[in-house]
Amino acid sequence: MTTTGMLHEKHRLIGRLVRDTASGRAGILQAIAPDVGTDTPVAWLRPSGGGIEWTTPVGAIEPVTVPTPDRTAIQEG
């Protein structure tokens, strides 16, 4: 575990849009840090348009990918 201060851990998805598979919501990953009153790290997310942060288990986040057009369908069409 590598920390960056305030017990925050480095993570490749910080600042990126991720999906919280536990709730189905998507948001920007703000930090991986212990939840209030615990030593267990959780993912801290915020809605992409701003708003109230929420937490979810670190294992419940996955990157959101933007779909790209299917080149085969375009070429065949």
CATH of residue 7's domain is 2.30.30
Range of the domain at 48: 3-66
Would residue 59 count as lying in a domain? yes
Would residue 74 count as lying in a domain? no
Would residue 77 count as lying in a domain? no
Q: Are 17 and 27 in contact (CB under 8 A)?
A: yes
Q: Are 47 and 27 in contact (CB under 8 A)?
A: yes
Per-residue pLDDT of 16-29, as tens digits, reads 999 999 999 999 99
Would residue 71 count as lying in a domain? no
Per-residue pLDDT of 30-76, as tens digits, reads 999 988 888 889 999 999 999 999 999 999 999 998 777 765 555 54
pTM above 0.75, yes or no: no
Q: Are 45 and 53 in contact (CB under 8 A)?
A: yes
Q: How many domains does the chain have?
A: 1
Would residue 73 count as lying in a domain? no
**Summary count for the chain: helices (H), strands (E):** 1, 7
